[in-house]
């Protein structure tokens, strides 16, 4: 099947300037210069006390946040800092949450929240139980249960990766096509059930096309990812 060529675009850097492990005296002695270089940039900052991490935070107006931390409850708790300037602040809150969860800085009283991320513990627990049940069935000569044995390889892979009723979309010539994944891995598109992603995609664009490349699924709010990428990662979406 014809597959559109990927365009090699220049990747935008998350961090475009940084300043690491500098004395607090820089802020107090040369605030005008610091403000000039930080500008109106958003970014991540880290506060240290005797070279040990004390606090990590984010700010859409970084220069004002650093100034505030010199006077608020953290005022006398740190003696050096690092800053990382970013162009796009779309994921700053998630990055801050990750840093709090991993580093657990003493100055952060609350654990970071990953609002759109789902804990895989339940899925992994279920997979372990199914594996163990299969091993027990083999030991005692029982027929091994396989809920997916009637499904084709492609459909089984799709139904494993996406939950029943998952919304998918494809974009072609500025038109957006929407469909749903059914429990058995088939696709409902324009009121018709298709046995594969490629058949549904071909009906949308009126020519043969790789359905795994064409269709996308929402992973996080307003963040659409090609199913091809989900398949390569191999991690089911819940």
Is the residue at 111 inside a domain?
no
Contacts 24+ apart (CB under 8 A), 127-130: none
Residue 134: phi, psi to the nearest 5? -65, -40
> Are residues 140 and 154 both part of a single domain?
no
> Are residues 207 and 139 both part of a single domain?
no
pLDDT in tens, 196-236: 999 999 999 999 999 999 999 887 667 788 888 888 877 67
Q: Rounded to an integer, what distance in angstroms lies between the CA atom of residue 112 and that of residue 196?
A: 40
- The distance from CA 232 to its chain's CA centroid, rounded to whole angstroms, is 15
- pLDDT at position 141 over 90: no
Residue ranges making up the domain that contains 130: 118-145
> Are residues 53 and 92 both part of a single domain?
yes
Is the residue at 132 inside a domain?
yes
Is the residue at 7 inside a domain?
no
Contacts of 7 (CB under 8 A, 6+ apart): none
Contacts of 237 (CB under 8 A, 6+ apart): 118, 161, 162, 163, 166, 217, 219, 230
User: Quick check: pTM over 0.85?
Assistant: no
Place of tokens 């659409």: 224
Residue 152 has what pLDDT? 47
Total number of domains in the chain? 3
- Average per-residue pLDDT for the chain: 80
């Amino acid at each position: 099947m014809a597959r559109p060529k990927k365009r090699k675009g220049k990747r935008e850097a998350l961090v475009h300037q940084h300043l690491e492990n500098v004395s607090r005296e820089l802020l107090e002695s040369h605030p005008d210069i610091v403000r000039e270089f930080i500008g109106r940039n958003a970014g991540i900052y880290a506060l240290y006390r005797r070279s040990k991490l004390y606090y990590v935070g984010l700010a859409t107006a970084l220069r004002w946040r650093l100034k505030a931390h010199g006077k608020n409850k953290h005022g006398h708790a740190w003696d050096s800092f690092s800053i990382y300037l970013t162009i796009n602040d779309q994921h700053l809150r998630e990055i801050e949450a990750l840093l709090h969860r991993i580093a657990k800085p003493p100055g952060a009283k609350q654990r970071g929240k990953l609002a759109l991320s789902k804990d895989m513990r339940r899925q992994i627990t279920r997979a372990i139980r199914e594996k163990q049940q299969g091993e027990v069935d083999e030991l005692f000569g029982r027929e091994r249960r396989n809920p997916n044995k009637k499904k084709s390889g492609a459909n089984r892979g799709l139904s494993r990766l996406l939950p029943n009723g998952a919304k998918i979309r494809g974009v072609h010539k500025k038109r957006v096509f929407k469909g749903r994944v059914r429990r058995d891995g088939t696709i409902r598109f324009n009121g018709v059930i298709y046995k594969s992603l490629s058949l549904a995609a071909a009906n949308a664009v009126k020519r043969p096309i790789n359905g795994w490349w064409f269709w996308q699924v929402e992973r996080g709010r307003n963040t659409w990812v090609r199913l091809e990428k989900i398949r390569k990662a191999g991690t089911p979406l819940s």
